Amino acid sequence: IPTDEVNGASSRSTTNSLKEVEMIAVGIDVSKGKSTVAILDGDGSIRAHPYEMNHSRAELDALIKYIKAVDDQPIILMEPTSHYHYPLLKAFIDAGLSPSLVNPYLMKKYGDAELRKTKTDKKDALRIARYALEKWYSLVPYSPLDQKYEDLHFLSSQYSQRISLVTKSKVQLINLLDESMPGITRILALKSRNPEKCMLLQFVKRFHSFDYINSIGKTRFMNRYIALAHKVGERNAETKGLAIYELSKASITTRSNSEYMAVALDQCVDILSESQRAADEIMLQMQNIAETIPEYRILRSMNGVGERLGPIILAEIGDIRRFHSGKALNAYAGNDAPPYQSGQFESRNRHISKRGNPALRKACFEVMQALKLNKPQDDPVYLFMMKKEQEGKPYNVAKMAGVNKFLRIYYARAMELYR
């Protein structure tokens, strides 16, 4: 803490010592590798002007030592910024302090009340500190969730990244096949869940292009294709082989049978296969952790929730006891439609806020798609979704209404475990 910017308790004047200040507010604007810190007294006066603090042990310890030396109760507030705020949280909690996190959207709306809007790190740190003084009664101290929930959420993030690589690799592979084997995906489906058993991936690695198939002739191609199909476990090998050969004779390829195309295809297939295997390994770890959490069996017992969606939904929700109601859980998912009323006007056509966890909202939407496919006639969520469709609601609107009911039912059933 810069000594020329701080009025310590020992250097206060007699007049200031007569003022009873019950708390101080520490506002921290977090960024990558460093943060801007501002400290205010309980009456709103500046105790420490905004200054930059690196996320190093020495500088964090200096801030913690200063906060602990002050007699007044500290209120430490910061915005959660990706993973950059984790070092500060860990340092404060290890030191026995109780920091709070504020939603960045709330801080944005709080700053909109200012007539002269400025955006600098120092101004933001002061704004966060003032918010802490004004809203101290509504701030909830951060408490780390159980390690299982933290690990599950971390793995869910990693799983999402691997699946993103799988999707990108699929698109790249299909683009390459449009040049070397146009139309092949109409005969052999691209199934990446088990790369070793995906006939299309093994076929691409073996033959690379229609030009190569035409060069080896029908008899040699059919023999090699049938052998490969038996190895992979593909049915109707002879019928599909003939269809592929006829397609190769009728197609016009824009890439000849070159080593460059072969290398590109092999690399794309390898990346797709490795990404899928990595995703499967992460999902297995998520399933192992999820099975040790009590509310997981409640989640799995609900229609539409399988071995993949169950751990993802549990990871994104976390500890169900964090929420005071099913309505709060829907708000966390961004699936709430806040009322809008002014004077004699009351909006009847409201949309969901989408200010919440998009991964949770997406996973629940996939549950609704599974219900639409399976059509369980005794499931209340499915029946509610069908009711909304019969009322004339668009399909996606009906599905999000089903998500709302799904989360409310899950909340009620899961909370019974802890009562």
Which residues neighbour 180 within 8 Å (Cβ) at sequence distance 6 or greater? 208, 209, 210, 211, 253, 255, 261, 265
The predicted pLDDT at position 300 comes to 95
Nearest Cα to Cα of residue 131 among 30, 16, 19, 28: 28
Mean pLDDT throughout 227-246? 92
> 10 pLDDT band (50/70/90 cuts)?
very low
> 2 pLDDT band (50/70/90 cuts)?
low
- Summary mean pLDDT of the chain: 88
| C-alpha to C-alpha distance for 337 and 323, rounded to whole angstroms | 18
| C-alpha to C-alpha distance for 92 and 76, rounded to whole angstroms | 9
Mean pLDDT throughout 28-45? 92
Lowest-confidence region among 61-65, 175-179, 346-350, 394-398:
346-350
Lowest-confidence region among 5-9, 53-57, 150-154, 184-188:
5-9
The predicted pLDDT at position 8 comes to 45
The predicted pLDDT at position 213 comes to 92
The predicted pLDDT at position 16 comes to 45
**Per-residue pLDDT tens for 98-148?**
899 888 888 888 887 776 777 888 999 999 999 999 988 888 888 766 678
| C-alpha to C-alpha distance for 376 and 370, rounded to whole angstroms | 10
**How many residues make up the chain in this entry?**
419
Cβ-contact 265, 173 below 8 angstroms? yes
Which residues neighbour 366 within 8 Å (Cβ) at sequence distance 6 or greater? 309
Sign of CA dihedral 407, 411, 413, 417: positive
Across 50-89, b (16+ Cβ under 10 Å) vs e yields bbebebeeebbeebbebbeebebebbbbbbebeebbebbb
| C-alpha to C-alpha distance for 142 and 124, rounded to whole angstroms | 21
Statement: the pTM of the whole predicted model exceeds 0.85: no
The predicted pLDDT at position 322 comes to 86
Cβ-contact 379, 305 below 8 angstroms? no
**Per-residue pLDDT tens for 74-93?**
999 998 887 888 899 889 98
**Per-residue pLDDT tens for 137-190?**
888 888 766 678 888 999 999 999 999 999 999 999 999 999 999 999 999 988
| Residue 345 scores a pLDDT above 80 | no
| Residue 329 scores a pLDDT above 90 | yes
| C-alpha to C-alpha distance for 66 and 64, rounded to whole angstroms | 5
DSSP-assigned letters across all residues of 95-137:
TT---EE--HHHHHHHHTT-SS----HHHHHHHHHHHHHHSGG
Task: Residue 272: count other Cβ atoms within 10 Å of its Cβ.
Answer: 23
CA angle 412, 417, 419 (to 5 degrees): 85
